[in-house]
Amino acid sequence: MALQVYISGKLFDKEDAKISVYDHGLLYGDGVFEGLRSYNGKVFRMAEHLDRLWKSARAICLEIPLGQAALAQAVNETLAANNIKDGYVRLIVTRGAGALGLDPNRTSHPQVIIIADHISLYPQEMYEHGLEIITASTIRNHPQALSPRIKSLNYLNNIMAKIEGLQAGCQEALMMNHKGEVAECTGDNIFIVQRGALLTPPLDAGILEGITRDAVLQLAAAAGISTAERTLIRHDVYTADEVFLTGSAAEVIPVVKIDSRKIGDGKPGPITRDLTARFHELTRQ
């Protein structure tokens, strides 16, 4: 049976899952989204993802045409319709179709799309041996231009940096903010380990408030590891004992080389390994 995609209340075969070319989501990237994971038939931190989706929508003055409970149910039903227990869910709300021109008031019917599928961002090998990344010259969006807190359909800022990474032979790229501080990677948050302490940039570095980031901070604190949200510069990353990235799709992945420099001893470190195991236990329990 074809993969079933939910669009605004109905399920369609993947080939027939289509929306208008006049949708401002396509025309202008005017919309918001979430990426969620399902483990063993249960969506991980569904409430947090819905909360972030609603905040993103609120930030762009977009009214989501159903409630959180109804959307949660639609996500679960789409997973069930596709018989997916361990998978990835892409939840999208577009501005809807309308007249040409930016004016969001000249659109109607925001479209709610749910794609339940599988995702593998990085090869398994990289989880075991670590990822090599570069720092991109493209800086993260200035928070006063387009806040990185908004998970919007306009991801070109991240894609520009991703292209830099790919052209350098790397699957991820680290982005600085307009002040030259470490922000985040193109689709993942970053953590470093410095003398046994776990550090990650604060939200005001201009980053997405990652749900995996929050989970890892909580896991580390519960494990007695000292944690802090701290402004980091490239020097801190280069001289860190360990570096890893977090994201719903990526989960926890070690970084062993940045800009051709070895991090620590060039192997995934003990705190990274420990937190990876704890994260697996939390998600697969």
Beta-carbon contacts of 214 under 8 Å, excluding residues fewer than 6 positions away, are: 48
Q: Does 92 bind ligand PMP (CB under 6 A)?
A: no
User: Residue 108 Cβ, how far from ligand PMP at the closest point, in Å?
Assistant: 28
- Positive or negative: CA dihedral 243, 119, 260, 178: negative
User: Residue 249 Cβ, how far from ligand PMP at the closest point, in Å?
Assistant: 6
Q: Does 87 bind ligand PMP (CB under 6 A)?
A: no
Give the angle 198-86-124 at the CA atoms, nearest 5°: 55
Q: Does 130 bind ligand PMP (CB under 6 A)?
A: no
Q: Pick the catalytic residue from 14, 18, 42, 151.
A: 151
User: Residue 141 Cβ, how far from ligand PMP at the closest point, in Å?
Assistant: 10
- Decide whether 87 or 210 has the Cβ nearer to ligand PMP: 210
Annotation says 151 is catalytic: yes
Number of residues that bind ligand PMP (CB under 6 A): 15
Give the contact letters, 211-240, x = binds to ligand PMP (CB under 6 A), - = no. Answer: xxx---------------------------
Q: Which of 208, 240, 252, 263 binds ligand PMP (CB under 6 A)?
A: 208
Q: Which of residues 168-207 bind ligand PMP (CB under 6 A)?
A: 184, 187-189
Which is nearest to 18 in space by CA: 111, 152, 116? 111
Q: Does 158 bind ligand PMP (CB under 6 A)?
A: yes
CB hemisphere CA count around 181 (13 angstroms): 15
* CA–CA dist 222, 220 (Å, integer): 5
Strands, DSSP E only, in the chain?
4-7, 10-13, 31-39, 42-43, 87-94, 97-98, 107-108, 112-117, 131-135, 172-176, 182-185, 189-194, 197-200, 227-229, 242-247, 251-258, 261-262
Enumerate binding residues for ligand PMP (CB under 6 A). 35, 158, 184, 187-189, 208, 210-213, 246-249
**Catalytically active residues, by annotation:** 151
